[in-house]
């Protein structure tokens, strides 16, 4: 029997039962409630109907309680499903969960399991029945393909790697989009660096000069700005070159790679002037200076400088000069690896 017909059925049956009993026996019955002076005097039929209806009310309470529990559980599951979807969305855009509390054990357990993993969407994947997550997957795919999106539309926080990626995509399209970032202290160094390197690769010397002191240099920036100096796109004094190299802690290999990259690009006088200045300022640049001297066949100058060095150092230079002294000639690069 459907629950919706149960109350009406009991009410009708109780009334019919009472009417039937009253026609059979219409005597009165008195009952005094224990520990009180209350006495009720009613027909037997009415007492029986009262008992039936009392059990009826009790069963209704039990049925209602069960139905209410089922209703509340379904509502909690539906609410947790909505919250869980929001948590997944927040994971995708790397946003902190705020006041998102799960209540059912099922979703709490699933959430605890997922918390042990990093969720990274597959690129070019938009297969999802949930419309909101589907939009986020499409957005993620577009970002990975180099497109620029409306970051505010998806409520992506500035701390998210997606915000960083979107900003990089914008700078890649036009380096001028990154110029305000270079001076802005609110942006992370990764973005400021990306914007500055884009500036170095695309801007003219006047614009580079305007921004070159607006950011602290790491080794990658140092190498990039020294490359454009070597290419003749900007001018740097020997002091500036020395400061860039020392502040970014150039190693022997870094100095050697620098002078090698300048070979054939800087005129010989500038090439040797810069390398000598660096060697006089930093002992790590000494080997690079010897490379320049040997490349330019300035052997007497190399021997003279070598005399100031301990006998156990620069064996590569000594071997090269000894071979030259007996008429042997080999490419300089063989001695500078």
* pLDDT tens digits for range 6-59: 677 777 777 787 677 767 777 776 666 676 677 767 777 777 777 777 777 877
Domain count, the chain: 2
Q: Residues 284, 258: contact at Cβ < 8 Å?
A: no
Co-location of 74 and 199 in the same domain: no
Calpha distance 255→288 (Å, rounded)? 6
- Co-location of 185 and 279 in the same domain: yes
42 and 164 inside one domain: no
- Residue 210 shares a structural domain with residue 87: no
Cα separation, 13 vs 9, in Å, equals: 6
| Full domain range(s) for residue 269 | 157-335
Q: Which residues contact 306 (CB under 8 A, 6 or more apart)?
A: 290, 314, 317, 318, 321
Q: How far apart are CA 168 and CA 156, in angstroms?
A: 15
First to last CA, the chain: 92
Q: Please tell me whether residue 42 adopts helix, strand or coil conformation.
A: strand
Q: Which of 93, 121, 137 is the last residue of a domain?
A: 93
Residue 287 structure tokens: 């080997």
User: How high is the mean pLDDT of the chain?
Assistant: 87
The CB density around residue 82, as the number of other CB atoms within 10 Å, is: 11
- Residue 127 inside a domain? The answer is no
Q: Are residues 181 and 281 in the same domain?
A: yes
pLDDT tens-digit readout, 269-312: 999 999 999 999 999 999 999 999 999 999 999 999 999 999 88
Residue 75 lies in a domain: yes
pTM to 2 decimal places: 0.74
**Of the candidates 199, 201, 256, the residue with the CA atom closest to the CA atom of residue 228:** 201
């Amino acid at each position: 029997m459907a629950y919706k017909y149960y109350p009406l059925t009991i009410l009708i049956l109780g009334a019919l039962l009472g009417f039937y009993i009253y026609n059979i026996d219409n005597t009165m019955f008195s009952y005094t409630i224990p520990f009180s002076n209350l006495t009720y005097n009613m027909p037997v039929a009415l007492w029986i109907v009262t008992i039936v209806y009392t059990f009826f009310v009790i069963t209704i309470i039990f049925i209602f309680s069960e139905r209410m529990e089922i209703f509340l559980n379904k509502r909690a599951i539906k609410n947790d499903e909505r919250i869980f979807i929001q948590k997944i969305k927040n994971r995708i855009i790397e946003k902190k969960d705020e006041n998102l509390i799960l209540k059912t054990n099922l979703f709490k357990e699933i959430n605890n399991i997922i918390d042990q993993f990093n969720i990274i969407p597959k690129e070019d994947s938009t297969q999802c029945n949930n419309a909101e997550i589907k939009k986020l997957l499409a957005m993620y795919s577009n970002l990975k393909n180099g497109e620029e999106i409306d970051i505010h539309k998806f409520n992506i926080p500035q701390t998210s790697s997606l915000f960083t990626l979107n900003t990089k995509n914008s700078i890649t399209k036009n380096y001028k989009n990154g110029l305000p970032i270079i001076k802005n202290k609110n942006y992370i160094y990764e973005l400021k660096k990306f914007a500055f390197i884009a500036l170095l690769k695309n801007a003219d010397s006047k614009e580079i000069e305007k921004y070159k002191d607006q950011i602290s240099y790491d080794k990658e920036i140092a190498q990039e700005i020294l490359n454009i100096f070597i290419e003749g796109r900007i001018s740097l004094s020997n002091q500036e070159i020395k400061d860039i190299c020392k502040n970014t802690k150039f190693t022997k290999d870094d100095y050697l790679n620098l002078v090698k990259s300048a070979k054939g690009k800087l005129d010989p006088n500038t090439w040797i002037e810069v390398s000598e200045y660096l060697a006089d300022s930093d002992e790590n640049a000494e080997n690079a200076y010897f490379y320049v001297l040997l490349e330019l066949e300035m052997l007497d100058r190399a021997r003279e400088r070598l005399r100031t060095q301990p006998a156990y150092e620069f064996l590569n230079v000594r071997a090269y000069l000894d071979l030259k002294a007996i008429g042997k000639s080999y490419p300089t690069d063989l001695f500078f690896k």
